[in-house]
């Protein structure tokens, strides 16, 4: 049975958590598994994705490189993946405004921006592509909002051109290669090796304000489903479930698993197997919403990997008020996944304590993989060690 046939079988139904099904998926998706102390499977070979998808991504990256030359090409392209300075574009990350290695959108020609958008579209789903562009557009909104507390002058850090692309390695070769786009409230990176999907984490998305009050996207709630489905799950809890999953105090000020942190906390909250069937469906929908940033075949491969590693042990925990306009946070934590969402209340423009908006504050979301992060993980250790040998 081919990988694509297994995914089609999964789509058509059946109990995907039976031992036989897990064994088949394990044989299809993994090779060279190494067992680490954190208890998560690690494969330097990653998971298989359809060849047509990997070809589309590599061609899109190659097209962007072909459209770039001179100093711009030097900024855009890093030659090696491993322990070199060039790989820092994949290993280091931030979701704050500021300089980072790569070529900015406002440094690109019109043709290069077209190719950059095609590269994003080759990797993300239609929903993911919408979120990417909507988050970039929010920088224009923040720039206009900042004029209210800067005597009519816009905050120069609020710039839709700040988003920076970098390609590491040769996408046309048979070696490992990756690409990254990063700027305020976006940090996405991807590492591939032929038809093997090695990593797509850490992945960060943010929105400020959470609902755009102006511009062509006025009224759009960019990261709405990521909150509303979780709230529905939290509100469905009852009895002992509330004691396991809900925390009235200790709401994090921001995501806890930021840059250079890795996955450091133990799973907390209610286990998936302690939920009722309709609640489990909500948790699965919520996870799929986060993974749904990726194109469907990649998302299905990631989901299949998740289903192989004791999905019933995945925990859900909620902090704070179950109210979308008040500070809250939730965490989904399992052997191969950690997702944090934090709603930070208050004005996204520093120094403006008086102004409030219909949807105050902003949202930060991070998705991490204990074994395969391109930050702090056994995969990064493996890549750096392999480079030195």
Domains of the chain, by residue range, sit at 19-201, 224-368
DSSP string, 182-195: EETTEEEEEEEETT
Predicted TM-score of the model (pTM): 0.83
pLDDT at 208: 82
Q: 275-329 pLDDT, tens per residue?
A: 999 999 999 999 999 999 999 999 999 999 999 989 999 999 999 999 887 889 9
Average pLDDT, the chain: 83
Q: Is the bond preceding 202 in cis, omega lying within 30 degrees of 0? A: yes
Q: How far is CA 76 from CA 23, 109, 121, 131, 202, in A?
A: 42, 13, 18, 23, 20
Selection from 91, 47, 63 nearest residue 291 by Cα = 47
Compute the average pLDDT of residues 237-249: 96
**343 has pLDDT over 70:** yes
- 342: region left, alpha or beta (phi > 0 left; psi from -120 to 50 alpha): beta
What is the tally of helices (H) and strands (E) in the chain? 12, 16
Selection from 232, 319, 245 nearest residue 284 by Cα = 232
Selection from 223, 182, 247, 181 nearest residue 341 by Cα = 223
Who contacts 165 (Cβ-Cβ below 8 Å, separation ≥6)?
64, 76, 102, 103, 105, 116, 119, 179, 180, 181
Structure tokens at 348: 């996204």
**What's the CA dihedral at 87, 91, 94, 98 to 10 degrees?**
-10
Q: Which residues pair with 192 in a beta bridge?
A: 177, 197
Who contacts 217 (Cβ-Cβ below 8 Å, separation ≥6)?
134, 137, 138
Please give the DSSP secondary-structure letter assigned to residue 3: H
What percentage of the chain has pLDDT greater than the value 70? 77
pLDDT at 149: 65
**154 has pLDDT over 80:** no
Highest-pLDDT range among 19-23, 294-298, 345-349: 294-298
The strand ranges marked E within the chain are: 33-35, 41-43, 47-48, 77-78, 103-104, 164-168, 177-183, 186-193, 196-199, 203-207, 246-247, 270-271, 315-320, 328-334, 337-344, 362-368
Highest-pLDDT range among 85-89, 96-100, 317-321, 347-351: 317-321
Residue in this structure with the two tokens 């942190």, named with its chain if needed: 261
**98 has pLDDT over 50:** yes
SS3 48: strand
Structure tokens at 76: 């855009």
Compute the average pLDDT of residues 5-32: 40
What pLDDT band is residue 44 in, cutting at 50, 70 and 90? low
Who contacts 179 (Cβ-Cβ below 8 Å, separation ≥6)?
61, 119, 123, 165, 166, 167, 168, 171, 189, 190
**353 has pLDDT over 50:** no
pLDDT at 86: 66
Query: Regarding predicted confidence, which is higher, 24 or 82?
Result: 82
pLDDT at 291: 97
**36 has pLDDT over 60:** no
């Amino acid at each position: 049975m081919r990988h694509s046939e297994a995914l089609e079988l999964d789509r058509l139904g059946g109990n995907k958590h039976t031992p036989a099904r897990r064994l088949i998926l394990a044989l299809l998706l993994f090779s060279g598994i190494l067992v680490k102390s954190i208890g998560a499977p690690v494969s330097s070979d990653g998971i298989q994705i359809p060849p047509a998808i990997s070809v589309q991504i590599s061609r899109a990256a190659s097209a962007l490189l072909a459209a770039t030359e001179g100093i711009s090409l030097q900024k855009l392209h890093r030659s090696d993946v491993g322990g070199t300075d060039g790989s820092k574009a994949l290993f280091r990350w931030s979701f704050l405004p500021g300089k980072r290695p790569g070529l900015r959108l406002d440094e690109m020609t019109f043709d290069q921006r077209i190719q950059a958008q095609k590269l994003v579209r080759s990797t993300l789903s239609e929903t993911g592509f919408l979120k990417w562009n909507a988050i970039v557009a929010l920088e224009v909104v923040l720039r206009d909002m900042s004029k209210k507390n800067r005597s009519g002058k816009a905050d120069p850090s609020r710039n839709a051109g700040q988003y920076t692309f970098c390609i590491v390695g040769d996408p046309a070769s048979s070696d490992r290669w990756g690409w990254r786009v990063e700027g305020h409230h976006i940090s996405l990176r991807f590492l591939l090796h032929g038809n093997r999907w090695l990593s797509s984490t850490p992945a960060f998305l943010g929105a400020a304000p959470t609902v755009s009050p102006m511009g062509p996207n006025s009224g759009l709630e960019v990261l709405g489903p990521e909150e509303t489905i979780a709230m529905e799950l939290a509100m469905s809890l009852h009895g002992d479930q509330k004691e396991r999953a809900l925390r009235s105090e200790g709401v994090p000020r921001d995501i806890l698993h930021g840059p250079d942190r890795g996955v450091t906390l133990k799973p907390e909250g209610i286990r998936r197997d302690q939920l009722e069937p309709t609640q489990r469906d909500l948790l699965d929908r919520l996870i799929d919403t986060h993974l749904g940033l990726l194109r469907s075949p990649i998302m299905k491969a990631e989901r299949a990997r998740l289903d192989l590693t004791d999905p019933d042990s995945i925990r859900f925990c909620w902090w704070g008020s179950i109210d979308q306009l008040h500070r809250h946070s939730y965490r989904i934590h399992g052997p191969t996944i950690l997702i944090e969402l934090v709603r930070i209340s208050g004005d996204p423009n520093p120094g403006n304590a008086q102004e409030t908006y219909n949807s105050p504050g902003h949202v930060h979301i991070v998705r991490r993989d204990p074994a395969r992060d391109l930050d702090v993980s056994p995969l990064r250790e493996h890549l750096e060690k392999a480079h030195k040998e």
